Amino acid sequence: MSEALVAVEVPGASASGASGARQFWRRLRAQRAALVATAVVALLVLIAVAAPLFTAIEGQDPTTYHPSLVDSARGGVPIGSFGGVSGEHWLGVEPQTGRDLFARLVYGARVSLGVALAATVIQVLLGLVMGVAAALGGGWVDQLLSRITDIFVAMPLMIMSLALLAIVPSSFPRPVLVTLVIGFIAWGTIAKIVRAQTLTLKGLDYVSAARLSGWGSLRIARRELLPGLAAPLITYAAILVPVNISIEAALSFLGVGVKPPTPSWGQMLTAADVWYQAAPQYLMLPAGALFVTVLALTVLGDGVRTALDPRAASRLGVGTGRGRQDEADAEKGAAV
């Protein structure tokens, strides 16, 4: 009997999933700000992935020193207009070292985006496992996992990161270390969200029917709970990426993140804080890149949240097209 019910419901579930995906993309496309943010994020990812290609076209690399391009008599200020901008150095050169700024900026995107995305994946996976295990385990399992989660939620991320990064040997790859520190400390909030959502889903009829049919907890979690958890997980992950970019930049700015000669936007800001008058582009370029990246990811995260939950109004009212979308949804509901 249960097998027959499963056989009947699978095609419907598939069709419902396909329909839900189409509705999501339709709602996301209706938000102009989210579309622009998506294009900006896609461009940034392309630049990060193709950094070796772009620097090869320019003919530079991020680590080679060019002492002839800086004025040692003036403390290492780049020679030429706009920080040494030329056909060979598209965005100028770094003060004192003469390293190419364009190459360091695009390679810095690899570090900043790579650390943020990898840390977000770790946070989501840990939060998902802990939240689902706590909700399905119940009793002492729920109490134990919830108390562990509370400890990590209350843990000051920046202080713990500074402490851990300061004691680890410098021979350990810093981008990997920063990723692990952020990912394994800041997963508590996701676990709480997943646990609350799982407890809600447990009370629904289709989950109860699956349990009565003899399905184990692992199969129920994989087949029945994960589809319902996808929306909040995707929404929160989209919000976490810009947060993690800011954390990586802050740690590198404080001198415990990515170490030279590996380029990072936060590390570039650290070195540029004394050059904002003599070579302002050295400060403005990484700061502008961080600002644009965080803003685009924040707008995209808000658009994803609104598209997944059309009942929730967007926090960014400009360019979202919410009014037209709400009217269309209302008309569709009335027709049904």
Which residue did the predictor score with more confidence, 48 or 14? Answer: 48
Which pLDDT score is estimated for 196?
92
Q: Supply the pLDDT for residue 103.
A: 94
Under the banding of pLDDT at 50, 70 and 90, the label for residue 302 is confident
CB 332 within 8 A of CB 310: no
CB count, 10 Å around CB of 327? 10
pLDDT of residue 312: 58
Please return the burial class of 161, using the count of CB atoms within 10 Å of its CB with bins 0-12, 13-18 and 19+.
Answer: buried
Give the pLDDT score at 12: 44
Q: Residue 152: what pLDDT?
A: 93
Q: Decide: 69 and 135 in contact? Cβ < 8 Å.
A: no
pLDDT in tens, 81-139: 888 888 898 998 999 889 999 999 999 999 989 999 999 999 999 999 999 999 988 88
- The pLDDT of residue 316 is 56
Contact status, residue 202 vs residue 137, Cβ threshold 8 Å: no
Q: What's the chain's average pLDDT?
A: 82
Residue with more model confidence, 191 or 164: 191
pLDDT at 20: 67
pLDDT(209) > 60: yes
- Predicted confidence (pLDDT) at residue 206 exceeds the cutoff of 90: no
The most confident of the ranges 71-75, 193-197, 300-304 is: 193-197
pLDDT at 157: 86
* Nearby residues of 207 by Cβ (< 8 Å), 6 or more positions away: 201, 220, 224, 225
Q: 283: pLDDT confidence band, cut at 50, 70 and 90?
A: confident
Q: Does 319 score more than 70 pLDDT?
A: no
3-state percent breakdown (helix, strand, coil) of the chain, nearest 5: 75, 0, 25
